[in-house]
Chain A
């Protein structure tokens, strides 16, 4: 904390009264009202969040007055860019409770981070007939990399089912986790149902069986506290753009000893120690996994985003969002023909629903005409959509800048859509 100035963040120091949703909203230029347009009711935060001024300013500062390649130049501008880039690595480490910033690998996003683990860890630790344990509520990004690994190695995938409420069936997890299990890959929060999974408990069981644990924290980063020690996981990945940061940047955190034993998965500049045509030696982690010029501005923007979340206090943000999700859940369920899917025990403010006789896409189009932005479709989790028996659902997902007014706009919009699309 000591290394950054108050001016970096758009927030008042934590000693002041906590910010309201409306005050937080003011920090997001994209949400400012525009003449001739309805108020933007942005309820697709599980897809991507809007960006606060603090992040936009950090990106601007870098592009206007700090732009150079990192880890190369000997001039002062290059030194500054490198320092800013590495400072973000330290900010991310602090944000997720990692003791060592060198355990943070910058990636293009969660998807690339998981692919990195599948390619690199998979190549040294996963053999034919070994098992990767997934859950039915995984995003495609935590399914497909493991299928590719299965094709390369002959490993098996085992899938833990979800119950009627949208909770993970823990007894099934226990039953499936055994001596052949090499890795458990699980999402901290479901991007469709909003379920918060008991990751610590899962990690305990997995570790007892000798398996490693990868946590997909993409959906959690902006809405739920993350502490890799408390979660007791071995890998954790998240994306900048779902956590008030820019797109094209994400991170993989892994325990130092795992990163040490993992071979590079992509070659190029930056990741090497020395290159000869006969033989190349590789840099130590995290650089071994950051081939080529990294997404420098993205990393700097991500640093600003996680500092913004820290300053706002993620527990406080979650406390603002949760009642909105519950209010939407209750309000939607009261509308005739609307069915809210799932009723997870622990959940965040993500509300999936369907309207009997009206397709999700028609509903989303009519909602959009009233300024309400929601996602409609399978939400990149087709196996879960099939499990729920609904190929397409509408999903309202909340962030800290949403207000009770947004919930009302959603409910009114849904009622109006039913009127228009009919009987």
Chain B
């Protein structure tokens, strides 16, 4: 049972009940959907990028507590980060919830998201936690793609 309290920590339950940045952004934001057909979870992530930084990031969707809380905490952690930092935090998070040994990098950079360590004890729930990050990565990729296709829209490359 102690495992269960590790999984459903108070911070996680709080974000699941009152998700932050739970809204859609306008057309100026890059957007992607993450969908897990096995369980039906669906998360949409929007990111407005300014000067290579995630100026605003939000999400909407229907998912379990783990998925919703993770998306909410992800948006808080990533706001203001550079695109490269966002990718690197995504890697750090993946290693936090999937690796069985000691952390590979420095998990303290994840801040509150370290609360998801307990997920690694529940292999069937790892995908719930990583789904928002997949959607976030997909949104960044589509931004990169649109930038290279229309080079006038964003100047710094």
User: A residues near B, CB below 8 A?
Assistant: 357-362, 365-366, 369-370, 376-378, 385, 391-392, 420-423
* B125 CB contacts on chain A under 8 angstroms: 361, 365
> Are the CB atoms of B13 and A369 closer together than 8 Å?
no
> Are the CB atoms of B38 and A422 closer together than 8 Å?
no
* B109 CB contacts on chain A under 8 angstroms: none
In the complex, A370→B40 CA distance in Å? 25
Q: Which B residues, 38 to 60, have Cβ-Cβ distances below 8 Å to chain A?
A: 38-41
Interface centre among B3, B40, B41 (most CB of A within 10 A): B40
In the complex, A385→B39 CA distance in Å? 12
Q: Which B residues, 1 to 51, have Cβ-Cβ distances below 8 Å to chain A?
A: 1, 3-5, 7-8, 13, 17, 38-41
> Are the CB atoms of A420 and B65 closer together than 8 Å?
no
> Are the CB atoms of A361 and B17 closer together than 8 Å?
no
A-B pair number, CB within 8 angstroms? 46
Partner of A359, one of B1, B3, B4, B64: B64
> Are the CB atoms of A359 and B63 closer together than 8 Å?
yes
In the complex, A391→B38 CA distance in Å? 11
Q: Whose C-beta in chain A lies nearest to the C-beta of B65?
A: A362
11 contacts between A and B (CB under 8 A): A361-B66, A362-B8, A362-B64, A369-B1, A391-B62, A392-B39, A420-B5, A421-B13, A421-B65, A422-B17, A423-B17
Given A361-B125, A362-B65; A422-B40 close (CB under 8 Å)? no
User: B residues near A, CB below 8 A?
Assistant: 1, 3-5, 7-8, 13, 17, 38-41, 62-66, 122, 124-125, 128
Q: Whose C-beta in chain A lies nearest to the C-beta of B7?
A: A365
> Are the CB atoms of B1 and A378 closer together than 8 Å?
no
In the complex, A370→B4 CA distance in Å? 10
> Are the CB atoms of A420 and B4 closer together than 8 Å?
yes
> Are the CB atoms of B8 and A377 closer together than 8 Å?
no
* B1 CB contacts on chain A under 8 angstroms: 369-370
Distance in Å: Cβ of A138 to nearest Cβ of chain B: 18
Distance in Å: Cβ of A296 to nearest Cβ of chain B: 32
> Are the CB atoms of A377 and B122 closer together than 8 Å?
no
* B63 CB contacts on chain A under 8 angstroms: 359
In the complex, A340→B122 CA distance in Å? 27
In the complex, A391→B64 CA distance in Å? 11
In the complex, A366→B124 CA distance in Å? 13
* A391 CB contacts on chain B under 8 angstroms: 40, 62
> Are the CB atoms of B39 and A420 closer together than 8 Å?
no
Given contacts A365-B4, A422-B13, 15 further A-B contacts (CB under 8 A): A359-B65, A360-B64, A361-B41, A361-B128, A362-B66, A365-B122, A365-B125, A366-B4, A369-B4, A370-B1, A376-B39, A377-B39, A420-B4, A420-B5, A420-B8
